[in-house]
C-alpha cells in the first residue's frame, strides 16, 4: 500500500465488509480496485512553536489534578466494551428521535427505514471519529508547545485518551456499521483553524471548549438515543 497525499478532504463514502451488516454488503474483493486500498492523508501546515521546560517543579495544581485523573480513570476499549453484542433492534429509535409521528418517515417502507437508520448512524458516528482524530492531533501538538511541565504531562495523557476514542469509533464503524462518511466541511474547518494556529493557548481552548464541548454534547445525545448498548457503554466511558 502507498500513501496518497491530498490537499483537500476526500469526499467518498467508505464501505467495509461486515458479517453483521444489517443489509446486503458485497465482498470488498468484488468492489475495490488497487487505488481504493491506498492510505489517504490530507496535508495541513502549521507554524507550530515548541518550547522546552527545564523546571520540573509543580507549577499548576489544577493541571496536575487533570493528569492524575487521566491515570486513575484509565480504560481499555478491547476489554471494557463488549464488541460481540448482537446488532440491536432499531424499533425504538424513531421514538427517541421524535420521528414516530413524522409523515415522511412513516411513508417509508421497512427496508427504507433500515437504510435510513444505517446511513443516519454511519454519518453521525463518522463525524465522532473525525472529530476525535482532530482532538488527537491537537493534543499531540500541545505536548510540544505547552509552556509548563504539568501542561505537557496533561497533553500527553490527553493524547493517549484521544487515541482510544479514535480506536473505538473506527472499530465500531468498521465492525458494526459498515459505512464511513467523509468529515463534514464545517467540522473540518474548525479543526483546521485550531491545528494551524500558532498560539498554544488557542489550541488548548479550542480542544477543551470547542472540540471536547461539542463531543460531550454529542455523546450525551448519542447515549440517550442509541439502541445499541455497545455505543452507549462507550459514551459513558468517553465522558469519564
Q: What is the CATH number of the domain that holds 121?
A: 1.10.620.20
Q: Is residue 1 part of a domain?
A: no
Structural domain of residue 193, as residue ranges? 61-238
Confidence of residue 80 (pLDDT cuts 50, 70, 90): confident
Give the highest mean pLDDT range of 11-20, 47-56, 161-170, 218-227: 161-170
Whether residue 49 is contained in a domain is answered as no
d(CA 238, CA 189): 24
> Is 28 inside any structural domain?
no
| pLDDT level of residue 23 (50, 70, 90 thresholds) | very low
On whether residue 105 sits in a domain, the answer given is: yes
pTM of the predicted model as reported, rounded to 2 decimal places? 0.78
Could you tell me if residue 56 is inside a domain? no
| 47 found inside a domain | no
The tally of domains found in the chain comes to: 1
By the 8 A CB rule, do 156 and 208 touch?
A: no
In a domain? residue 85: yes
Set of cell numbers at residue 217: 454534547
Task: Please write the tens of the pLDDT for every residue from 107-126.
Answer: 888 888 878 888 888 898 89
Residue 227: what pLDDT?
61
User: pLDDT tens, 158-172?
Assistant: 899 889 889 988 988
Helices 149-172, 110-145: inter-axial angle, 10-degree rounding:
160
Instruction: Quickly state the pLDDT bin for 26 (edges 50, 70, 90).
Output: very low
Q: Which of 27-31, 58-62, 128-132, 164-168 has the lowest mean pLDDT?
A: 27-31
DSSP conformation letters of 76-135 = -HHHHS-TTPPPPP-TTHHHHTT-TT-HHHHTS-HHHHHHHHHHHHHHHHHHHHHHHHHH
CB 209 within 8 A of CB 135: no
Q: What mean pLDDT is reported for the chain?
A: 78
Amino acid at each position: 500500500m502507498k500513501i496518497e497525499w491530498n490537499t483537500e478532504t476526500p469526499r467518498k463514502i467508505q464501505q467495509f465488509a461486515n458479517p453483521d451488516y444489517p443489509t446486503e454488503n458485497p465482498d470488498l474483493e468484488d468492489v475495490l480496485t488497487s487505488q481504493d486500498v491506498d492510505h489517504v492523508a490530507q496535508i495541513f501546515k502549521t507554524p507550530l512553536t515548541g518550547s522546552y521546560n527545564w523546571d520540573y517543579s509543580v507549577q499548576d495544581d489544577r493541571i496536575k489534578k487533570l493528569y492524575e485523573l487521566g491515570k486513575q480513570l484509565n480504560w481499555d476499549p478491547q476489554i471494557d466494551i463488549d464488541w460481540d453484542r448482537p446488532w440491536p433492534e432499531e424499533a425504538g429509535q424513531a421514538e427517541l428521535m421524535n420521528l414516530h409521528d413524522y409523515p415522511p418517515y412513516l411513508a417509508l417502507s421497512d427496508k427504507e427505514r433500515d437504510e435510513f437508520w444505517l446511513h443516519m448512524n454511519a454519518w453521525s458516528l463518522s463525524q465522532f471519529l473525525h472529530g476525535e482524530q482532530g482532538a488527537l492531533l491537537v493534543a499531540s501538538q500541545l505536548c510540544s508547545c505547552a509552556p509548563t511541565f504539568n501542561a505537557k504531562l496533561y497533553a500527553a495523557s490527553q493524547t493517549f485518551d484521544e487515541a482510544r476514542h479514535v480506536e473505538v469509533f473506527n472499530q465500531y464503524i468498521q465492525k458494526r456499521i459498515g459505512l464511513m462518511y467523509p468529515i463534514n466541511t464545517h467540522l473540518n474547518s474548525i479543526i483546521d483553524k485550531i491545528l494551524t494556529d500558532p498560539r498554544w493557548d488557542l489550541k488548548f481552548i479550542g480542544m477543551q471548549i470547542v472540540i471536547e464541548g461539542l463531543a460531550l454534547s454529542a455523546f450525551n445525545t448519542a447515549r440517550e438515543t442509541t439502541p445499541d448498548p455497545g455505543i452507549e457503554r462507550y459514551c459513558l466511558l468517553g465522558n469519564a
